[in-house]
Structure 1
Amino acid sequence: MIRMATQKDSLEIAKLLWVIFEDMELPLLKKISKNKLLDMVAESVGEPTYRFGVNRGLVYELNGEIAGVIFGYPSAEEPIIDEPFKKVLIKNGFDPNENLFIDKETLPDEWYIDSVVVNKKFRGLGIGSALLNEMSETAKKAGYHTIGLNVDMANPKAKKLYCSLGYKKVADLVISGHQYEHMCKNLIDNLHVK
């Protein structure tokens, strides 16, 4: 079952996102302990405007467990998505300028999929595809014609999945020192266009 993320999911969400944080080799991981950082991300999940806030996330629940999560938002909101986490950094005595994410990730006028992650024990069941398709519906309902995401060039398996769902490469980006391909999908039904 796919549902909106809730505050009670926050620590489990943070733990799933940790895989992405490590893959991206985010600099903050070297400055704050894993448990502390997980707690801080979990605290921020309750803030609706946060990158990983409850209003931006969908959870795939299977047999009472969170099998996967996805987060997305309008690209125009990228400048504000990390403000809640900066407040948590300050509250915990850290420099707010040393945020988890510092690079621009979106392109103009798109709904952006920030993160999608599936728990290892539930991979291969179509959960990632289901979450991506549901986020496309969320974007359409919000009036967006394009949905975008970034895929690490070192992750061809993920790129293959995105291509199978209709995403196409439109740009190259560097995020946290890694090379990414920015991929977009048109959300408008082209079947009746002549």
Structure 2
Amino acid sequence: MIRFAKKEDGTAVAKLILVILKDMELDFLKEFGEEKALEVIAACFEDPTYRFGYARGLVEEIDGEIAGAVFGYPAAKEAIIDLPLQKYLHAQGIEGNIQMFIDPEAFPNEWYLDSIAVDERFRGKGIGSKLLTAVDRLATHEGEKVIGLNVDKANPNAKRLYLRDGFKDVGEIVISGHQYDHMQRAVKDFDRS
């Protein structure tokens, strides 16, 4: 069942997000390690304004387990989504301008699909496709009419999934030294309540 994320989902969601962060080869992971990254993501998850905050995501729950999750935000809010991370790190006595993400990712006037992940135990069951379709709920909730995302040029399987869902290439972008295609599609059933 796809549902809005809840605060108590933090630990399970953090494990899914960590897989994405490892694929991106972020300096944050190299500096802090996986265990600290999991702690940080789970703690910040409780802040609804955070990039991976519970209020910005949906989860697929199967038999009481989080099988997958999707997170995003309106492009206009990109400047504030990582402030909870900064606040948490400072509260832990970690000073400086430490950032998990250093590059802007969203294009103007879109709801940006930041992350979609499926637990490896549940892959191959269509969960990614279901979550991708469900993001329209989040975009509509934020009043957005266009959904954007970035797909790593080295991940043709993900790109095929996005193309099947109606996304089209609209540009290219470099994030953490990796080349991505930026894709967009209109929100489906936007006028429905």
TM-score (norm 2): 0.94
Q: How does 1:33-182 map to 2 (within 5 A)?
A: 33-182=33-182
Letter in 1 for 2:101: F
SS in 1 for 2:79: helix
Q: Distance in 1 between matches of 2:181 and 2:95?
A: 30
The count of corresponding residues between Structure 1 and Structure 2 is 189
Q: Is the 8 A contact 1:87 1:96 kept in 2?
A: no
Q: Is the 8 A contact 1:89 1:96 kept in 2?
A: no
Q: Is the 8 A contact 2:6 2:54 kept in 1?
A: yes
Shift of 1:94: 2.3
Letter in 1 for 2:78: E
Shift of 1:96: 4.5
Q: 1:106-155 deviations in whole A, cap 9, x for unaligned?
A: 01110110000000111111111111111113313433221000000110
Across the aligned residues of Structure 1 and Structure 2, the Cα RMSD in angstroms comes to 1.2
SS in 1 for 2:114: strand
Shift of 1:6: 1.3
Q: 1:16-64 deviations in whole A, cap 9, x for unaligned?
A: 1111000000001111121122111100000010000011010100111
Letter in 2 for 1:137: R
- Which 5+ residue runs of structure 2 have no aligned equivalent? none
- Which 5+ residue runs of structure 1 have no aligned equivalent? 190-194
Shift of 1:92: 2.0
TM-score (norm 1): 0.93
Q: Structure 1 vs Structure 2: percent identity of aligned residues?
A: 51
Runs of 4+ aligned structure 1 residues displaced above 3 Å come to none
SS in 2 for 1:66: strand
Residue 192 of structure 1 corresponds to none
Q: Distance in 2 between matches of 1:143 and 1:36?
A: 35
Moved more, 5-14 or 180-189: 180-189
Letter in 1 for 2:111: W
